[in-house]
């Protein structure tokens, strides 16, 4: 058995799930950074790169990287299905008991993964909190407003649900049905299932290569409609106490 087969057949402890949509120029550095920061942790891990219908040759680069790095797995969609779909496919194929999510563009740093892994010892979900955002000012302002509106309407306290850098125990996803857009509400959905959630401060870096896949319309407007659905679900959560049963 060569090293690649050995790693692939071995159940890893941690699965890192990363949606990739036209991120060609970020993938080599992403791979290097993950290796640099995961190796010292001495934990078995796999990286699931979910190519969400890229048209820029991202999958070809991932395949080339795979020949040197047995930790990498590729899931490739035929078309662009959106970030929630990419996460969902990654979660379904992930084998680790801990699932870490992050973006492919290095706005999150793999250097922070160990912080999430420390915190998840005591919680079911750990959310990264980009306390110093490195985005254009319009994004920072709109994100602050979005988080405030979201927290107020959904009676939530998460400072930064838009941060992809998160860690979950795999059982958190067991009873959750995902719909497009709901990746922004994972912590709320999981709290509704009784799981414990905490947040840790993580770094945030400017996007150097490629460009953001979102704009005001497909982020703020779409996520506001999703927020109303979450609010409705939260208010309608079934809750009962059985005091007697024969």
List of residues contacting Mg ion (CB under 5 A): 103, 105, 107
**Distance between CA atoms of residues 114 and 36, nearest Å:** 12
Closer residue to ligand UDP (CB): 69 or 142: 142
x-or-dash string of contact with ligand UDP, 90-129, rule CB under 6 A: -------------xxx-x----------------------
What is the strand order of the sheet 14-20 is part of?
72-76, 45-51, 14-20, 98-101, 166-169, 125-130, 197-202
Of ligand UDP, Mg ion, none, which one sits near residue 21, judging by CB under 5 to 8 A according to partner kind? ligand UDP
For tokens 């912590």, name the residue. 187
What's CA 134's distance to the chain center, in Å? Answer: 18
Q: Is the dihedral of CA 202, 204, 210, 213 positive or negative?
A: positive
From the list ligand UDP, Mg ion, none, which binds 152 (C-beta under 5 to 8 Å, kind-based)?
Answer: none
Count of residues engaged in binding ligand UDP, rule: CB under 6 A: 16
Choosing among ligand UDP, Mg ion, none, which partner's interface includes residue 110 (Cβ < 5 to 8 Å by kind)?
Answer: none
Binds 16: which of ligand UDP, Mg ion, none (CB < 5-8 Å by kind): none
SS3 16: strand
Q: Does 147 bind ligand UDP (CB under 6 A)?
A: no
Residues numbered 63 to 82 that lie near ligand UDP (CB under 6 A) are 80, 82
Taking the C-alpha atoms of residue 153 and residue 151, their distance in angstroms, rounded to an integer, is 6
């Amino acid at each position: 058995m060569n090293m690649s087969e050995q790693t692939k057949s071995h159940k890893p402890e941690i699965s890192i799930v990363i949606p990739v949509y036209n991120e060609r120029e970020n993938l080599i550095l992403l791979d290097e950074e993950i290796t640099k920061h995961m190796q010292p942790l001495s934990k078995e891990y796999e990286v699931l790169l979910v190519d969400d219908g890229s048209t820029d040759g991202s999958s070809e680069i991932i395949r080339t990287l795979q020949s040197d790095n047995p930790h990498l797995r590729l899931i490739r969609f035929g078309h662009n299905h959106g970030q929630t779909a990419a996460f969902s496919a990654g979660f379904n194929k992930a084998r680790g008991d801990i699932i870490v999510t992050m973006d492919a563009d290095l706005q999150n740093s793999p250097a922070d993964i160990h912080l999430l892994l420390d915190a998840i010892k005591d919680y079911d979900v750990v959310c990264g909190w980009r306390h110093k955002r490195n985005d254009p000012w319009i994004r920072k302002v709109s994100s602050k407003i979005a988080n405030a509106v979201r927290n107020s309407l959904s009676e939530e306290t998460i400072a930064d649900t838009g941060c992809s850098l998160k860690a979950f125990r795999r059982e958190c996803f067991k009873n959750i049905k995902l719909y497009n857009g709901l990746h922004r509400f994972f912590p709320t959905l999981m709290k509704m299932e009784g799981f414990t959630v905490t947040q840790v401060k993580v770094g945030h870096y400017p996007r150097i290569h490629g460009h953001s896949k979102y704009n005001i319309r497909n982020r703020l407007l779409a996520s506001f409609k999703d927020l109303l659905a979450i609010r409705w679900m939260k208010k309608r959560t079934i809750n009962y106490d059985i005091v007697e049963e024969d």
